[in-house]
Amino acid sequence: MTAINEPATSSWPAVLSIAVGTFALVTSEFLPIGLLSHIANQFGIKAGQAGLLVTMPGLIAAIAAPICTVSARRVDRRLLLVGFTVLVLISNLIVASASSFEVAIFGRALLGISVGGFWTFAAAVGRKLVTHRDGNRATSIIMAGISIGTVVGVPLGSALGSIMGWRLSFIAVASLCLLVATAQTTLLPKILIEAGQSWRGLRETACIRSLTLAFAATALTAGGQFAAYTYLEPHLVINALLDPARLGLFLAIYGVFGIVGTFVGERLSRQKPASGFMLVAMAMVVSIILTALLSWNPFAEAIAVALWGAAFGAVPVCVQIWAYASDPGRFESSSAITVSVFQIAVAAGSFFGGLVADAQGIIAAFLAGACLNLLAALLVARKMFRPNIITQEI
């Protein structure tokens, strides 16, 4: 599936408008984590029930991604991205003005539709805004929004909640979405495609051997990441004995190196995307184990957290480049499947990590996450060294 008109030059402002959109999207997704106690008190519910505001978007996104891909057909991709950004704005406004918890859940469900749809088209549209040579760089810039939003969302929500209350926090992010939608409307050109996707096309994409391997490795890596990362903050507080100021610093270190990792992942994946992914998965294994074991030394722990942030920051861009290299014509459909796999793995990984942490402690959850990443690396290595299994692009 290719654009009807290929650009003669790269449009970096347009790419940046999508990247800021990914930041606003992921920030919205994680915003409630720092506000759960405030929201629970407002609606008179338990914190665990309020946690549905975090899990709902991911579950809806897993369902929405393939549906959006098939439903979009030949619709102008510019209109789709702007529409999904506006949907994030509406979602935040609904939550901000919700008179009941059920209304807030409805607003978060709308966000899930946008998460599934936006992520399906964002990277593919980014590549259509630049020359072929700059395609991987455009992908890495758009994916950087994940790293920034993942780290900024939680502390931003907590800080805004303390200053202006949880409702105004959602309004503040909605205002950002309005600016992003305006920028995208101004900067993005009309983007048409030659043919839309079908359910049969999605099934065929899912059966391509190199992509099947990418999806399986992504599921293991994302599941392992969130089995451990969900408990990074309590680990740093309980085991590393960090005070609030140093805790914020460590989380900032994770985020900054996550951005760095995005561009490192691009370089690792340029020639052999599967090899780059395997190296990143192994870096995840090492960094998670080091973070678990070095809590007694703040300096060493900071280095381990930085490595972990860089490693996971590289994962989304490695996956996207791998999917594109495997079959450029099916990039939108492979992106949709990746979104579904990733979101399901996040929910499953967090749940699995919780079971392990409750039964054996936080360190055990970290080791379980490392094991899942090790399985991902071994799976890719095994397939790489078996002839005629995966395509030459790998």
Which strand (E) or helix (H) includes residue 5? none
The distance in angstroms from the start CA to the end CA of the chain is 20
Q: Which residues contact 315 (CB under 8 A, 6 or more apart)?
A: 218, 221, 222, 225, 265, 277, 280, 284
Contacting residues for 309 by C-beta, under 8 A, at least 6 apart = 147, 151, 253, 254, 255, 256, 257, 258, 261
Q: Nearest to residue 357, comparing CAs of 231, 187, 260?
A: 231
Residues 239, 102, single domain; the answer is: no
What CA–CA distance (Å, rounded) separates 72 from 194?
12
Rounded CA-CA distance 6/194 in Å is: 12
Q: Hey, CA dihedral for 91, 92, 93, 98, is it positive or negative?
A: positive
Residues 155, 12 share a domain: yes
Number of domains observed in the structure of the chain? 2
How high is the pLDDT of residue 268?
A: 87
Q: Show Cβ contacts of residue 350 under 8 Å, excluding neighbours closer than 6 positions.
A: 226, 227, 230
Q: Are 59 and 166 contained in the same domain?
A: yes
Q: Are residues 283 and 343 in the same domain?
A: yes
Q: Are residues 214 and 299 in the same domain?
A: yes
The string of pLDDT tens digits covering residues 346-386 is: 888 888 888 888 888 889 999 999 999 999 999 999 877 66
Residue (of 347, 58, 24, 49) closest to 170 by Cα position: 24
Q: Where a domain ends, among 179, 196, 213? A: 196
Express each pLDDT in 216-268 by its tens digit.
Answer: 999 999 999 988 887 887 888 888 888 877 877 887 788 788 888 888 888 88
Instruction: Specify the amino acid at residue 5.
Output: N
- Can you tell me the distance from the alpha carbon of 148 to that of 155, in angstroms, rounded to the nearest whole number? 11
pLDDT exceeds 50 at position 4: no
Q: Are residues 304 and 183 in the same domain?
A: no
Specify whether 229 is located in the same domain as 361: yes
pLDDT tens profile 85-110: 999 999 999 999 999 999 999 999 99
pTM for the model: 0.80
Q: Within this chain, do residues 223 and 305 fall inside the same structural domain, yes or no?
A: yes
How far apart CA 104 and CA 92 sit, in angstroms, is 9
Final residue in a domain of this structure, among 162, 196, 230:
196
Structural domain containing residue 273: 203-394
Tokens read off for 270: 């340029």
Length in residues, the chain: 394
